[in-house]
Protein backbone atom coordinates (compact mmCIF):
# COMPACT_ATOMS: atom_id res chain seq x y z
CA UNK A 1 0.00 0.00 0.00
CA UNK A 2 1.25 3.47 -0.88
CA UNK A 3 2.02 5.54 2.17
CA UNK A 4 1.99 9.31 2.34
CA UNK A 5 2.26 11.51 5.39
CA UNK A 6 -0.06 14.43 5.99
CA UNK A 7 -0.14 16.93 8.83
CA UNK A 8 -3.19 16.95 11.08
CA UNK A 9 -3.72 19.28 13.98
CA UNK A 10 -2.94 17.47 17.24
CA UNK A 11 -6.33 18.22 18.81
CA UNK A 12 -8.15 16.94 15.71
CA UNK A 13 -6.01 13.79 15.61
CA UNK A 14 -6.83 13.09 19.24
CA UNK A 15 -10.55 13.44 18.48
CA UNK A 16 -10.16 11.12 15.49
CA UNK A 17 -8.29 8.59 17.60
CA UNK A 18 -10.98 8.61 20.30
CA UNK A 19 -13.77 8.27 17.72
CA UNK A 20 -11.94 5.44 15.93
CA UNK A 21 -11.56 3.53 19.18
CA UNK A 22 -15.21 3.98 20.18
CA UNK A 23 -16.37 2.98 16.69
CA UNK A 24 -14.25 -0.19 16.79
CA UNK A 25 -11.72 0.57 14.07
CA UNK A 26 -8.44 -1.32 14.22
CA UNK A 27 -6.48 1.93 14.03
CA UNK A 28 -6.87 5.67 13.74
CA UNK A 29 -5.39 5.48 10.25
CA UNK A 30 -8.04 2.96 9.19
CA UNK A 31 -10.77 5.30 10.46
CA UNK A 32 -9.29 8.35 8.72
CA UNK A 33 -8.98 6.42 5.45
CA UNK A 34 -12.61 5.30 5.74
CA UNK A 35 -13.88 8.83 6.42
CA UNK A 36 -11.85 10.37 3.58
CA UNK A 37 -12.91 7.67 1.12
CA UNK A 38 -16.58 8.14 2.01
CA UNK A 39 -16.33 11.93 1.64
CA UNK A 40 -14.58 11.75 -1.74
CA UNK A 41 -17.25 9.34 -3.00
CA UNK A 42 -19.99 11.69 -1.78
CA UNK A 43 -18.40 14.65 -3.54
CA UNK A 44 -17.90 12.69 -6.75
CA UNK A 45 -21.54 11.59 -6.68
CA UNK A 46 -22.70 15.19 -6.18
CA UNK A 47 -20.53 16.28 -9.09
CA UNK A 48 -21.95 13.51 -11.32
CA UNK A 49 -25.52 14.46 -10.34
CA UNK A 50 -24.87 18.11 -11.19
CA UNK A 51 -23.35 17.14 -14.54
CA UNK A 52 -26.40 15.01 -15.43
CA UNK A 53 -28.75 17.82 -14.40
CA UNK A 54 -26.83 20.31 -16.53
CA UNK A 55 -27.07 17.96 -19.52
CA UNK A 56 -30.82 17.49 -19.08
CA UNK A 57 -31.26 21.24 -18.73
CA UNK A 58 -29.25 21.79 -21.93
CA UNK A 59 -31.45 19.32 -23.77
CA UNK A 60 -34.57 21.13 -22.57
CA UNK A 61 -35.90 18.28 -20.42
CA UNK A 62 -35.83 20.39 -17.25
CA UNK A 63 -35.92 24.10 -16.59
Q: Is the pLDDT of residue 58 over 80?
A: yes
Q: How many residues can be counted in the chain?
A: 63
Beta strands in the chain (DSSP E): none
Question: According to the model, what pLDDT value does residue 53 have?
Answer: 81
Cβ pair 54, 63 in contact under 8 A: no
Cβ atoms < 10 Å from Cβ of 34: 13
Q: Predicted confidence band at 4 (pLDDT cuts at 50, 70, 90)?
A: confident
Pairwise CA distance, residues 63 & 49, whole Å: 15
pLDDT digits 0-9 by tens, 13-50 = 999 999 999 999 999 999 999 999 999 988 887 777 78
Pairwise CA distance, residues 50 & 54, whole Å: 6
Amino acid sequence: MFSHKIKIDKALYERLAETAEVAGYASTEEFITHVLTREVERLEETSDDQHAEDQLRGLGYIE
